[in-house]
Amino acid sequence: MKPFAGNFTQQEPLDDTVIAAATEVLKSGRLHRYNSEPGELSQVSRLEQAYAAYQGARYCLACASGGYAMAIALRAAGLVQGEAVLTNAFTLAPVPGAITAAGGKPLLVEITEALVIDLEDLERKAKTSGARFLLLSNMRGHLVDMERLAAIVQSYDLILIEDCAHTMGAAWNGCKSGSFGLAGCFSTQTYKHLNSGEGGLLTSDDPDFMARAIILSGSYMLYERHGAAPSADVFERIRLETPNMSGRMDNLRAAILLPQLDRLEDSIERWNERYRAVERALAGADGVELRRRPQAERYVGSSIQFRLPGITPALARAFVAANRALGVELKWFGAAEPMAFTSNHHSWRYVDAQELPQTDRILSGLFDMRLPLTFSVEDCRHIGAIIAHCAAELGTEV
């Protein structure tokens, strides 16, 4: 089998329109979002307007990171110190980290073999815990049946905040991810769907919530300079009783993001072409189980996940090593120790230990791989063939 020679962490270069936008901001010296002339919309305010329009939301706040967006969303929604927050057991560390940073206690919910939150376990824990909040992680771009989830949220009067770091542009029955609850939180970190190195976006239709979030983000009394914010009268009371927790986006990052947002739909189609190429190569591969995408889901295939159910830890490590030897970089969610961005609930020692046998069984055989747009569709066919080959070789050892 011919090895693959591509780089799984190399993003596409930022083009001349992005470079020109960044250069204009640098030449001005006005990097701070509030360094603007009277009546002028800063780059950050322009981004807030543009992303609110893309998302179909009334309001948008640009901030320092997706994790920061989640933490201030919980605070702006009224989270009390020590209060339980329901969230998926399968997610990345910034999600329980944001809950903890906001003063909450993560209450982990089992996942299903479709890699989404288990709605039956969610209902059980909503009923028995008295939790008021659900921070739903649309982990690795997989959407649960959002209509069923919305019914549970309504039944138990939960406050739903969506972590959409992996689902920017995704939708369920035509309704965009991030639109099903009080707020949607998005990331523009390098490995997400828009790239500003670090950055976050928070969207909502609720004026009081967004006014609190804007003050929390560090607006001081400059909230009227925002591009997609509630009217000034909404801030009258909120501005004096909400702390400043500075986490603003700057004009340089916003300038970098605006041209990328214009091309996001094209990027989504390109990711999905690559996803489908790997998916076809893995169809029927020995022991490999892929999630079947529901018809209602519009996904963004910037990564792909598959399972090898029943694999032992020793064989899982051997499988990852065999792929690496052929140039394919896989992450294994069943590993005992966290590696790079990948971890599971056993290594989040700041979270109370919780029994999650179903999640543990699923994660023990779960593998994950990025699909950067620097790869061609043919590259993705090659990668899929290598994974299928290594799975077949693994089968001879079982």
pLDDT at 398: 43
**C-alpha to C-alpha distance for 345 and 356, rounded to whole angstroms:** 9
Phi, psi of 218, rounded to the nearest 5 degrees: 105, 40
Percent of all residues in the chain with a pLDDT value above 70, rounded to a whole number: 99
**C-alpha to C-alpha distance for 387 and 231, rounded to whole angstroms:** 54
Q: For residues 108 and 124, is the Cβ–Cβ distance under 8 A?
A: no
pLDDT digits (tens, 9 = 90+) for 300-313: 999 999 999 999 99
pLDDT digits (tens, 9 = 90+) for 75-125: 999 999 999 999 999 999 999 999 999 999 999 999 999 999 999 999 999
pLDDT digits (tens, 9 = 90+) for 358-375: 999 999 999 999 999 999
pLDDT at 397: 54
**C-alpha to C-alpha distance for 132 and 158, rounded to whole angstroms:** 5
Rounded to the nearest 5 degrees, what angle is found at the Cα of 116, between the Cα atoms of 48 and 131? Answer: 75
**C-alpha to C-alpha distance for 186 and 233, rounded to whole angstroms:** 27
pLDDT at 340: 85
For range 374-390, the mean pLDDT = 98
Phi, psi of 66, rounded to the nearest 5 degrees: -65, -35
Q: Is the pLDDT of residue 167 over 50?
A: yes
pLDDT at 39: 85
Strand boundaries in 205-341, DSSP class E: 289-290, 297-298, 303-307, 331-332
Beta bridge partners, 63, equal 200, 248
**C-alpha to C-alpha distance for 385 and 215, rounded to whole angstroms:** 51
pLDDT at 47: 98
No. of helices (H) and no. of strands (E), the chain: 13, 14
Mean pLDDT of the chain: 96
Q: For residues 208 and 234, is the Cβ–Cβ distance under 8 A?
A: yes
Q: Would you say the C-alpha torsion 318, 319, 324, 325 has a positive or negative sign?
A: positive
Return the structure tokens found at 66.
């997706």
Return the structure tokens found at 18.
């992005």
pLDDT at 93: 96
pLDDT digits (tens, 9 = 90+) for 267-319: 999 999 999 999 999 998 989 999 999 999 999 999 999 999 999 999 999 99
Beta bridge partners, 327, equal none
pLDDT digits (tens, 9 = 90+) for 204-251: 999 999 999 999 999 999 999 999 999 999 999 999 999 999 999 999
pLDDT at 284: 86
Domains and CATH numbers, the chain: 16-110+117-262 (3.40.640.10), 264-395 (3.90.1150.10)
Q: Is the pLDDT of residue 395 over 80?
A: no
pLDDT digits (tens, 9 = 90+) for 174-200: 999 999 999 999 999 999 999 999 999
Beta bridge partners, 88, equal 109
pLDDT at 163: 98
3-state secondary structure (DSSP) of residue 106:
strand
For range 1-17, the mean pLDDT = 95
Q: Is the pLDDT of residue 339 over 90?
A: no
For range 134-157, the mean pLDDT = 98
3-state secondary structure (DSSP) of residue 189:
coil
